[in-house]
Amino acid sequence: MRNLKFLMRGAAVAAILVATPSLAQSRIDRARTAVTEATAKVEAAQTAGAQTYAGDTMAKAEEALRVAKDQLARDHRDSTINEARRASGLADQALAEAESNKSAQMAAERDARRDAQATAAVEASQKEAAQDAAVAATSDAQAANARADAAAVAAQSAAADAAAARAAATQPVATTIETTTTQPAASRSYSSTRKTTTVKRKTTPVKRTSTTTVSKPTSTTTTKTTVTTAPQ
């Protein structure tokens, strides 16, 4: 029994001694694989723009990968695996942040473009309204100038008429007065005597006398008098 126990212990020790190089080889492979995976993830995050959209997290991932490679070179397998896994996690986080931040930035840029277009449209509308107002103001000014010119012409005409009236008032005024006088002519009477024939009768002879009046036409006299009146 004692010999069997020694044999079993020897077999266990031999198994441990045989398995130790394989275990050591597996750990170094895992370290290298971890570094390779971390390197691929960091590079993918860099390609996706994580350095721009998730700079802080990406910098931590790159630093962890650098440390993992340094530990691998020093044959520090456990620390290599740990740092490689940390680098992978940070690279995944940086990639997610980059995609989120990139989408947010694109949305912000889209909103900014829309706001800029709306602002440009408002400014264009305001500019058009200002131009219309300027045109209307110019038209009103032209109309006002036309009215002012017409008023000036009317004023000049009125001034000319007033000057003509004043000039006419300073000229002497000749007035002609026509007087018609009608004078009746004197009537004259003429007497004539007729001879009568007396017939002897028993009656008394009668002597007859006739009077003839001759009227001459009236005479009319017209007198024209011109009176010149000087202005006061």
The Cα-based distances of 210 to 138, 172, 196, 197 in angstroms read 108, 64, 12, 16
The whole-angstrom distance between residue 204's C-alpha and the CA centroid of its chain comes to 137
99-107 own/partner pairs: CB under 8 Å, 24+ apart: 99/48, 99/53, 101/53, 101/54, 102/49, 102/53, 105/53
Which has the closest alpha carbon to 72: 41, 34, 44? 34
Q: Which residue has the higher pLDDT, 82 or 225?
A: 82
Per-residue pLDDT at 186 exceeds 60: no
Q: Which tokens hold the place of 115?
A: 């706001």
Which has the closest alpha carbon to 102: 51, 63, 56?
A: 51
Q: Quick one: pLDDT at residue 8?
A: 39
For residue 60, how many other CB atoms are within 10 A of its CB?
18
pLDDT tens digits for range 1-37: 444 344 334 444 444 444 444 455 588 999 999 999 9
The pLDDT assigned to 165 comes to 84
CA distance 86 to 199: 199
Q: At what angle do helices 77-170 and 55-73 cross, to 10 degrees?
A: 160
* Cα 105 from Cα 1, distance rounded (Å): 78
Residue 205 has pLDDT above 70, yes or no: no
Distance of CA 129 to the CA centre of its chain: 2
For the chain, give the mean pLDDT.
Answer: 77
Collapsing DSSP to helix, strand or coil, 180 comes out as strand
pLDDT tens, 131-180?
Answer: 999 999 999 999 999 999 999 999 989 999 888 888 877 766 565 666 66
Mean pLDDT within 193-211: 48
Q: What is the DSSP string of 24-75?
A: HHHHHHHHHHHHHHHHHHHHHHHHTTHHHHSHHHHHHHHHHHHHHHHHHHTT
